[in-house]
Amino acid sequence: MPLTFARKAAGSAALAVVLVSLSASPGFCAWYDSLDPSQWFAEKYKPEVQPDIPADKLYSDGLANLEDRNFEIASQKFEDLDKRYSGSDWSRKALLMTAYSNYEGQKYDDAINASKRYLQRHPATKDAAYAQYLMAMSQYKQIPDVTRDQDRSEKALIALQELVQKYPTSEYAADAKAKIQITRDQLAGKEMEIGRFYLERRNFPAAINRFRDVVSKYQTTRHAEEALERLTEAYMALGITAEAQTAAAVLGHNYPDSQWYKDAFALLQNGGLEPREEKSSWLSKIYRGVIGRTAAAE
């Protein structure tokens, strides 16, 4: 007989002896007879039944907490309403107010998630534009300073652009357009910061790539003037004089009174050159394209 099986058999025998001994005990018999078999398998933990709360009562409670600036409680009230009356118009309203409560309470990621759920469930409703606006603004409010990673700025720009594209006639479109410009300026500022870093360390090709991004993607921002002057510097340092002259010429054409143009002009003069646009240059093509698009829009 294997050792393990033998141990099990011995244990079973000992248990049997104990049970026989207990059953012979008068006290055990009295205790056993006192048990109520109907209670042996009775439900120990009964589920808590939540009382029905009218939808309008939950909604009013949420609004009251919003008015008192109890944003977290307000959000909880609206979330409860959404769950209790799923699929109803109350649920739709509650989901939008959940997003708004979280936005006002500066819980921006929660506001973004609630707004996304609203847009997924109710993309064609009259309040869809507002849900998109709340989502975009929740991203926008989290834009960091220019020295940090600009992932939030990218997400804010995408959300704001979607608002303008999908809901061009909404009351939020004008504000979105203004914030798009601010966000683009932020992204351009980050590119300029990195470009200056490379320029100071005489890594001219890397600096040119960053300044090129600014004039390619963010021509309408306040950083475009400096980017063109920095391109003049970097190209001159590499001896690519035709591109340096073109950068200065484009700068002078678009910003004739700029101090950056005066600096670029002086830099070329020190090298015996003057601004001159090369039509085949990528810079010339970019700005002629911008002018063409602007004229068409007008």
Q: What is the pLDDT of residues 177-187, one digit of tens each?
A: 999 999 999 99
Same domain? For 69 and 151 the reply is yes
Confidence of residue 294 (pLDDT cuts 50, 70, 90): very low
Q: Report yes or no on 288 lying in a domain.
A: yes
pLDDT exceeds cutoff 80 at 5:
no
Is the pLDDT score of 149 beyond 60?
A: yes
Question: With the CA atoms of 247, 250, 252 and 256 taken in that order, what torsion angle do they form, in degrees rounded to the nearest 10?
Answer: -140
Last residue of a domain, one of 157, 184, 211: 184
Residue 72 pLDDT more than 80?
Answer: yes
Is residue 1's pLDDT more than 90?
no
Do residues 74 and 133 both lie within one domain?
yes
Residue 160 and residue 79: Cα distance in Å, rounded? 26
In a domain? residue 47: no
What is the CA angle 36-42-48, rounded to 5?
145
pLDDT tens profile 127-143? 999 999 999 999 999 99
Say if 18 falls within a structural domain. Answer: no
**In this structure, is residue 131 part of a structural domain?**
yes
Same domain, 175 and 204: no
Taking a C-beta distance cutoff of 8 angstroms, is the pair 59, 93 a contact? yes
CB–CB of 251/232 below 8 Å?
yes
Confidence band, pLDDT 50/70/90 cuts, at residue 288: confident
Shared domain check, 176 and 195 = no
pLDDT computed for residue 112 by the predictor: 98
Residue whose token pair is 């940090």:
148
Q: Are residues 159 and 118 in the same domain?
A: yes
Q: Looking at the whole model, is its pTM more than 0.85? A: no
pLDDT band at 50 (very low <50, low <70, confident <90, very high): low
Specify whether 175 is located in the same domain as 196: no
- Round to whole Å and give the CA distance between 147 and 255: 27
Last residue of a domain, one of 184, 209, 225: 184
Which range, of 6-15, 226-235, 241-250, averages the lowest pLDDT? 6-15
Query: How does residue 287 score in pLDDT terms, banded at 50, 70 and 90?
Result: confident
Share of the chain above pLDDT 70, in %: 80
| pLDDT (mean) for 31-43 | 55
| Same structural domain, 176 and 207 | no
| Residue 34 scores a pLDDT above 80 | no
Pair 79, 97: CB distance under 8 Å: no
Other C-beta atoms closer than 10 Å to the C-beta of 212 total 18
Number of domains in the chain: 2
Domain residues for the domain of 292 are 190-297
In a domain, 117, yes or no: yes
Assess whether 218 and 178 both reside in one domain. no
Q: Examine the domain organization and report whether 148 and 202 are in the same domain.
A: no
How high is the pLDDT of residue 81? Answer: 97
Domain boundary among 140, 158, 184: 184
Are residues 205 and 163 part of one domain? no
Q: What length is written for the chain?
A: 298
Of 26 and 113, the one with more pLDDT: 113
Is 8 part of any domain? Answer: no
Which pLDDT score, from 0 to 100, does residue 14 have? 45
Structural domain includes residue 35: no
In a domain, 62, yes or no: yes
Which CATH number covers residue 83?
1.25.40.10
| Residue 131 and residue 85 share a domain | yes
